[in-house]
């Protein structure tokens, strides 16, 4: 890994999705380093945010022309697989990204580094136990299809903009919405609920801590020299089953509850196992998630409500 040790005080970093789960943790990392951080959102009501709809190409170009960011972390996406409007996945995840890249390419001076977040969901359910970046994508839902389409579109910009792309596997932490699995489980244990309803208990996922993920994103933007045109898995390299997670949270909280399986919570085309390899990221940059899942769950259980 080659690190850039120059002063970062002149950096102005644009983070789309700044007030979202990942954006808040990333902004904390970046601001701790003295960087100026601004964000884009539809409402513009979050700290440091500007109102801008990424699906509005003219609005995006105007805002980017005014901001002229030195670095960009593009986090905005409709990421909840169960989202009810399939078209919205493509409007935001694909065409919103296209609008952003077109606006950045039109600047007199392009950003020094652009981080684009894709998703490990593009891999679908491959017939290999550990997924590295060479595995052929086979998405099974609209979220994953929109992210894969976005990746192909982003590849056409690699020769014009300094882009590094990441495929994060699942990650969690304090501040994640309870519609996601682990925050839902933690919430039930924290309030000593008598039971919890879940879907398929036989799924296994590779979970990282959002603090690790934010640290990797910050390093890819500000520290790692090179990497443009590369795509990296961001993952722990270990998968936990839902049953294991329930047991860990039960042990930490010293509480047990009734488990009810609700068929209505089971998804069609559910991916049974999703476990990644972070070898490429580690070999090229020296970066990889470090915090064990047990410590992440302990942090979430002890956080103030």
The span from the CA of 255 to the CA of 192, in Å, is: 7
Residues in Cβ contact with 85 at an 8 Å cutoff, skipping those fewer than 6 apart: none
Active site residues: 143
Tens of pLDDT, residue by residue over 207-241, are 999 999 999 999 999 999 889 999 999 999 999 99
| The two structure tokens encoding residue 132 | 């590295």
What's the CATH code of the domain at 120?
A: 3.40.50.720
The span from the CA of 246 to the CA of 253, in Å, is: 11
The span from the CA of 167 to the CA of 121, in Å, is: 8
Asked whether residue 255 is assigned to any structural domain, the reply reads no
DSSP 221-288: HHTB---TT-EEEE--S-EEEHHHHHHHHHHHHT---EEEE-GGGPPTT--SEE-B--HHHHHHHS--
The span from the CA of 112 to the CA of 134, in Å, is: 27
Number of domains composing the chain: 1
Q: CB–CB of 207/22 below 8 Å?
A: no
Asked whether residue 134 is assigned to any structural domain, the reply reads yes
Asked whether residue 158 is assigned to any structural domain, the reply reads yes
Asked whether residue 43 is assigned to any structural domain, the reply reads yes
pLDDT in tens, the chain (305 residues): 444 434 445 789 999 999 999 999 999 999 999 999 999 988 878 788 999 999 999 999 999 999 999 999 999 988 655 556 789 999 999 999 999 999 999 999 999 999 999 999 999 989 899 999 999 999 999 999 999 999 999 999 999 999 999 999 999 999 999 989 999 999 999 999 999 999 888 889 999 999 999 999 999 999 998 899 999 999 999 999 999 999 999 999 999 999 999 888 877 667 788 899 999 999 999 999 999 999 999 999 999 65
Beta strand 208-209 pairing with 12-16? unpaired
Asked whether residue 26 is assigned to any structural domain, the reply reads yes
Q: CB–CB of 168/206 below 8 Å?
A: no
Asked whether residue 71 is assigned to any structural domain, the reply reads yes
Can you give the residue range of the structural domain that contains 167? 12-173+208-237+275-290
Strand order in the sheet with 204-206: 239-241, 204-206, 273-274
Beta strands in the chain, from DSSP E residues, in sequence order: 12-16, 36-41, 49-51, 71-74, 113-117, 163-168, 171-172, 195-198, 204-206, 208-209, 231-234, 239-241, 258-261, 273-274
CA–CA distance from 98 to each of 16, 161, 216, 251 (Å)?
13, 13, 24, 46
Asked whether residue 32 is assigned to any structural domain, the reply reads yes
Asked whether residue 132 is assigned to any structural domain, the reply reads yes
């Amino acid at each position: 890994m080659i690190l850039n040790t120059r002063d970062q005080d002149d950096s102005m970093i644009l983070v789309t999705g700044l007030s979202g789960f990942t954006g808040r943790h990333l902004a904390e990392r970046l601001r701790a380093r003295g960087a100026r951080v601004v964000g884009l959102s539809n409402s513009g009501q979050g700290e440091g945010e500007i109102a801008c709809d990424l699906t509005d190409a003219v609005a995006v170009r105007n805002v980017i022309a005014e901001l002229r960011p030195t670095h960009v972390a593009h986090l905005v996406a409709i990421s909840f697989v169960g989202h009810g409007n399939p078209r919205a996945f493509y409007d935001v995840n694909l065409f919103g990204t296209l609008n952003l890249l077109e606006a950045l390419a039109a600047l007199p001076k392009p950003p020094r580094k652009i981080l684009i977040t894709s998703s490990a969901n593009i891999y679908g359910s491959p017939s290999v136990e550990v997924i590295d970046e060479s595995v052929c994508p086979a998405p099974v839902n609209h979220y994953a299809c929109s992210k894969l389409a976005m990746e192909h579109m982003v590849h056409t910009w690699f020769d014009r903009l300094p882009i590094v792309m990441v495929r994060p596997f699942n990650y969690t932490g304090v501040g994640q919405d309870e519609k996601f699995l682990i925050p839902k489980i933690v919430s039930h244990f924290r309030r000593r609920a008598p039971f919890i309803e879940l879907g398929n208990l036989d799924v296994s996922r590779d979970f990282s801590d959002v603090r690790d993920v934010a640290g990797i994103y910050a390093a890819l933007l500000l520290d790692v020299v090179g990497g443009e045109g590369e795509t990296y898995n961001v993952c722990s390299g270990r998968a936990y089953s839902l049953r294991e997670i329930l047991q860990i949270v039960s042990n930490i909280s010293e509480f047990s509850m009734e488990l009810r399986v609700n068929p209505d919570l089971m998804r069609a085309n559910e991916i049974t196992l999703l476990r990644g390899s972070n070898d490429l990221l580690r070999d090229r940059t020296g970066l990889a998630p470090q915090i064990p899942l047990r410590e992440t769950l302990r942090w979430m259980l002890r956080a103030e409500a």
